[in-house]
Amino acid sequence: MAWYKVLTFFFLVGHLSLFGQSKLQDKQIKKIVFLGNSITYSGTYVTFIDAYLTLRDPQEKYEIINLGLPSETVSGLSESDHASGKFPRPVLEDRLGRVLSQTQPDLVIACYGMNDGIYKPFDLERFQAFKKGILDMREKVILSGAEIIHITPPVYDGDNVAYGEVLERYSQWLVDMRKAQWEVVDLHVPMKRESMEQRLSHPDFSFSPDGVHPDQSGHLFMAKQLLLYLGYSEIAQSKDIKNTLMQFRNGMEVYELIQKRQQISKNAWLTAIGHKRPGIKAGLERSEAEQQQNEINIKIETLLTE
């Protein structure tokens, strides 16, 4: 079997040499926590990033934890009739300390804004609440010793034209904070531009059929913008998840296993950390979740070295 291991090693070295060094490798980042609302909680863009990094840089052993929470804001605002009056929107501040102390990330990637204007026309007080929430989150993350990357919110594609303008202003403020040395991935402007280009030939095109939540193509677009920012320039031509991952040996099989691993991890961590959002499926105890994740990791390692 020794000859087989040697061939595998040289295959991996040769394959990796096709790519350059990423920001994650430069900064020796290993544990990454994603924060956000239901768009992040749904997890498709997080799972794609996890799978891509696992397949592209298997020696790095990244740990990617999805802690998105549906309905959540950083602004602390909520509509009076949110969820038909059953519960107000949860706010990140209520759980952020526990997130940071329990997960101890090297990097936090945060995508907020979609819910923070509570789907109403622009209002200065609501805008100030959003900015304060972002600033407070950023301060706590940095004080914990982690780095933070902000992602501007996806495009709002519903009938409320005024709310689309709100998210443009929220996104522009985040981008402007690059002047203060913030790391900001501008998702909003490229996503809007791509939507407009697609509609020239497909008038009904939308990344978000319900106006808010991106479909699979929207999540792939989100993942691409973040991966490009992190230095994975080869992802620029990616058109769909399947074709992108199939360039790697056993790519789709690894992706499906990572989907399962992400689901187990997300539910277990959300339950362990705690939150105020009703209706979220309870996860396994952390020890049982880790055991199941380790079993999946062994299967992934086998696929990576076949």
pLDDT tens for each residue of 248-305: 999 999 999 999 999 999 999 999 999 999 999 999 999 999 999 999 999 999 999 9
User: What whole-number distance in Å separates Cα of residue 272 and Cα of residue 278?
Assistant: 15
Query: pLDDT for 86-109, tens place per residue?
Result: 999 999 999 999 999 999 999 999
| Mean pLDDT, residues 159-185 | 97
> Which segments of 144-204 does DSSP mark as H helices, in order?
161-176, 188-199
How far CA 264 is from CA of 221, 238, 270, in Å, comes to 24, 27, 10
State the CB neighbour count (10 A cutoff) for residue 205: 15
* Domain residue ranges of the chain, discontinuous segments joined by +: 22-247
Quick one: pLDDT band at residue 6, thresholds 50, 70, 90? very low
Q: Which CATH class is domain 22-247?
A: alpha beta
Average pLDDT over residues 49-63: 96
The answer to whether residues 296 and 257 touch, using CB atoms and an 8 Å cutoff, is: yes
CA quadruple 46, 105, 31, 65: dihedral positive or negative?
Answer: negative
Count of other CB atoms within 10 angstroms of residue 159: 8
Question: What length is written for the chain?
Answer: 306
In angstroms, the CA 123 to CA 127 distance is 6
Dist. CA 238–CA 45, nearest whole Å: 13
Rounded to whole angstroms, what are the CA distances from 45 to 38, 140, 262, 274, 281?
12, 25, 11, 23, 20
Q: How confident is the model at residue 19, as a pLDDT? A: 61
Contact 97, 155 (CB under 8 A): no
Q: Cα-Cα-Cα-Cα dihedral of 133, 138, 139, 144, to 10°? A: 130
pTM: 0.92
Question: Considering all CA atoms of the chain, what is the largest pairwise distance in Å, rounded to the nearest integer?
Answer: 67
pLDDT band at 14 (very low <50, low <70, confident <90, very high): very low
Q: What is the pLDDT of residues 105-125, one digit of tens each?
A: 999 999 999 999 999 999 999
Burial (CB count within 10 angstroms: exposed 0-12, middle 13-18, buried 19+), residue 164: middle
Q: Does 161 score more than 80 pLDDT?
A: yes
